[in-house]
A and B are shown apart, each in its own frame.
Chain A
């Protein structure tokens, strides 16, 4: 099957996904479950990664700009900018594509090969809407919170690493993270996050929904979900940066 066919089928699946739901109450319950599964259960890994990435960004920035001509607060400034503009929205999205994307593709793919999706279709349930829509909405609602947690912990990780190693004083770091702060950058990061959440949920669901075969193919779909989500996120990241920042 060629790329254009996949793209066409992806959009047809989206159309099916967003068509009229049968029972809103059931969708609401599924949305809450998915927010827990896809979002709340990712807080740990996001927090851990963010803290240590913030720490590493701070140490690397300091070691690379160690010059008497550059003021000490620049370390905090660079850590904040790197975190808000790129690390938290994009790198966390790539990590979530690995964790959440593979989960979505594997879950839906397993349901396909075990004929559970056929069972939904035969009952007259819109299987795409029932299975995929709550995942899309849950990801788009919960990921901005994850990214805000990530931003805070990354900047905090930089503070801890900087002050604990003595490469930057607390005063300089705090001055740095406040200097030249543009609130729009947070908005930009959150817009990217919502778009990336949509990409992760839909691309992964597409891979799972059209799985054919057995457990081996579920594994392949899961891998494809991560790879294609990452590729689309990187392309969208470039496009959004041009659109929103320039």
Chain B
């Protein structure tokens, strides 16, 4: 479980996050949603330790991340897997080497065991046959799969996905969403997905945090999300005609 308590973050004169508190549950796909520029990525970066919050705490299983010493922090980081928006694969390494990278840096197993583990992860994301290619030779969807394989290589307890659907076609987006959900259930990870893709929210979101103007505006399940009467949340969710029709249909049923 990850808990954030009273997180605030400012860049120069701009207050990006204000007093955000939320709980992200183990074995669930937790989602942070909000408009572009709302502060959701900054919140995620505060949680994984890329930004140090000006105020507040991030608790990993009750341990305050930013109060840890360097070794403890490194230990927690090795329990984190992250899928980046642009995949962030290392250009000079092959797919297999990318997935093996965290193992080579931290695992104490032999090279053949590391290769076996990397192959298992690649098989899990259905991209085993591309192991000798370089990231530039892969499509966006394939790169995301490799990113997921690298993220799960160390058997993470926490999985972060920053806009996993960005730049992907709707079909591939669904495949990636399903993969994230399956991995969350299989590995019992605390998964946090940063997204503004409503399809993704409706398909996989179990615990949803809505960030608006740097504040936590709303938190709940996807069923509660559709019934919410929060004005800003409704403006965000039902911005598209399709979502408005979904709501109308649901109201009709109700």
Contact = CB atoms under 8 A, between A and B. Distances in A.
Interface of A: 22-23, 26, 114-116, 118-119, 121-125
B85 A115 contact: yes
Contact of B88 (A26, A114, A125): A114
A23 B89 CA distance: 20
Interface centre among B84, B89, B154 (most CB of A within 10 A): B84
A122 B49 contact: yes
Contacts of B102: 123, 125
B86 A114 contact: yes
B52 to A, nearest CB: 12
Contacts of B91: 114, 116
Contacts of B73: 124
Contact of A26 (B76, B78, B105): B105
Interface in B55-99: 73-78, 80, 82, 84-86, 88-91
Contact of B82 (A22, A23, A26, A122): A122
A23 B104 contact: yes
Nearest to A121: B50
A122 B77 contact: yes
B105 A23 contact: yes
B46 interface: no
Interface residues of B, number: 26
A109 to B, nearest CB: 13
Nearest to A20: B70
A123 B73 CA distance: 10
Contacts of B50: 118, 121-122
Given A124-B77, A124-B78, A118 B88 contact: yes
A123 B84 CA distance: 12
A22 B106 contact: yes
B78 A123 contact: yes
A122 B192 CA distance: 14
Contacts of B84: 115, 118-119
A116 B86 CA distance: 9
Nearest to A110: B91
Nearest to B45: A118
B48 interface: yes
Interface in B119-172: 154, 160
Given A118-B84, A124-B74, A26 B104 contact: yes
A114 B92 CA distance: 13
A36 to B, nearest CB: 13
Contacts of B78: 123-124
B48 A122 contact: yes
Contacts of A119: 82, 84, 88, 90
A22 B105 contact: yes
Given A114-B91, A121-B50, A124-B76, 4 more contacts: A115-B86, A116-B90, A116-B91, A118-B50
B83 to A, nearest CB: 10
Contacts of A121: 49-50, 77
Contacts of B82: 119, 122
Contacts of B76: 124
B64 to A, nearest CB: 17
Interface string B22-53: 00000000000000000000000100111000
A23 B104 CA distance: 8
Contact of B105 (A114, A115, A118, A125): A125
B88 A116 contact: yes
A114 B48 CA distance: 17
A22 B105 CA distance: 6
Nearest to B84: A115
Contacts of B85: 115
Q: Quick one: which of A114, A116, A121, A124 has the most chain B CB within 10 A?
A: A124
A115 B166 CA distance: 15
Contacts of A26: 104-105
5 contacts: A115-B85, A119-B90, A121-B49, A122-B49, A123-B105
Contacts of A125: 102, 105
A123 B102 CA distance: 7
Nearest to B50: A118
